[in-house]
Amino acid sequence: MDIATLKVFVEVMRAGSFAAVARAHDVDPSSISRTIAILEDELGFRLFQRTTRRLAATEAGALYFERMQPIIDELDRAGQEARDIVTEPAGRLRVTASVSFGHTVLVPLLPRLRSAFPELAVDLMLTDAVLDLITEKIDVAVRLGPRIDTGLIGTQLMRTRYYACASPAYLKAAPKLKVPSDLTAHGCLLFPYPGYRSRWRFRAKNGEVTEVPVNGAVTISNALALHRAALDGLGPVLLADWLVGRDLRRGTLIDLFPKFEATATDFDTAAWVLYPSRAYVPRKVRAFIDFLKAHTKNAAAKSD
């Protein structure tokens, strides 16, 4: 048996699915199934119990995995460490982020990233689903929110501030907005997640927090589309600085309450860079994280 076959076995055990491993390798699930069948023939025992609904390890398969997993991980780590000594950041880097953050922040950085690390290939998976980094073989995830406790290793990329804002055209025709409670008389643009769709929170400079009920006829599940709707004058919206900072500077969107901090959940939020908890962080991952920190810091400073 070869190392590649054993690696496939370990991946299937971790994912609990032929299909998930097949997606990661961009092959048909039947190819992964055949690889496991060949390994079982060589070993002389079944590794998995297969039914139409689930894939489960046999007792022998679980024991084999327990002994093989650290060996395969050590082989991968040894090869990566050796390559990192003699090469520039290279190879394929799999990164996931939300659609809006990826489109607004990460994609514009790709030309500079490619120029800085020409040997680095990037798979950028933009999705609002929370992907499993181990199962999907993802190197880096960028996630938004308060401090994220996921069992992963993480570092803060940039603090996030939210703004309640609207277009000049909307404000010209709409009832006056002087204090946050005035929002109750307006049809807001809503995000279909807890807090965002029912009440927005505002904190005054003295620390006093006010919760304002919000409602509206338009609810959109994508921040980029909410941003577009706000620019088109459909109503007030609550969006992050990395998405509306340029509009606030240009005046295409107006900060409705500059004397208040705004949020739907927590006032202390950020973008976090997360990666699997490993004893060794590959050079390509370290280089990518350092690059992001340097360039998003500059971007954040420009949006203030």
CATH number at residue 180: 3.40.190.290
In terms of domains, do 8 and 79 share one?
A: yes
Minimum mean pLDDT among 112-116, 193-197, 265-269: which range?
Answer: 193-197
- DSSP codes joined into one string, 236-249: -EEEEHHHHHHHHH
Is residue 100 domain-shared with residue 44, that is, in the same domain? no
The DSSP code sequence of 182-222 is GGGGSEEEE-SSTTTTTEEEEE-TTS-EEEEE-EEEEE-S-
Residues 106 and 142 occupy one common structural domain: yes
pLDDT at 65 over 80: yes
pLDDT computed for residue 84 by the predictor: 62
Q: What is the CATH number of the domain that holds 46?
A: 1.10.10.10
Pairwise pLDDT comparison (63 vs 52), residue with the higher score: 63
The 10s digit of each residue's pLDDT in 164-204 is 999 999 999 999 999 999 999 999 999 998 878 899 999 99
Supply the pTM of this predicted model. 0.72
Inter-residue contact 106 to 141 (CB < 8 Å):
no
Same domain, 102 and 45: no
Per-residue pLDDT, 153: 82
Least confident of 12-21, 146-155, 213-222: 146-155
259 and 275 in a single domain? The answer is: no
Q: Are residues 225 and 277 in the same domain?
A: no
Residues 121 and 170 in one domain: no
Query: Distance between CA atoms of 13 and 15, rounded to whole angstroms?
Result: 6
pLDDT in tens, 208-221: 999 999 999 999 99
Q: Which CATH number characterizes residue 101's domain?
A: 3.40.190.10
* Residues 146 and 181 placed together within one structural domain of the fold: no
Residues 257 and 190 in one domain: yes
Residues 235 and 142 grouped into a single domain: no
Total domain count, the chain = 3
Last residue of a domain, one of 60, 85, 110: 85
Mean pLDDT of the chain: 89
pLDDT > 70 fraction of the chain, expressed in percent and rounded:
91
End residue of a domain, out of 85, 114, 144: 85
Q: Are 160 and 240 in contact (CB under 8 A)?
A: yes
Range of the domain at 121: 91-155+271-303
Share of the chain above pLDDT 90, in %: 60
Six-digit token pair at 115? 């120029």
42: tokens are: 């060589």
Helix segments in the chain, DSSP class H:
3-15, 18-25, 29-43, 59-86, 99-101, 110-116, 168-173, 223-231, 241-250, 283-303
Higher pLDDT, 154 or 214: 214
Q: What is the pLDDT of residue 199?
A: 94
Domain boundary among 85, 105, 120: 85
Q: Please state, in angstroms and rounded to a whole number, the distance separating the CA atoms of residues 32 and 239.
A: 43
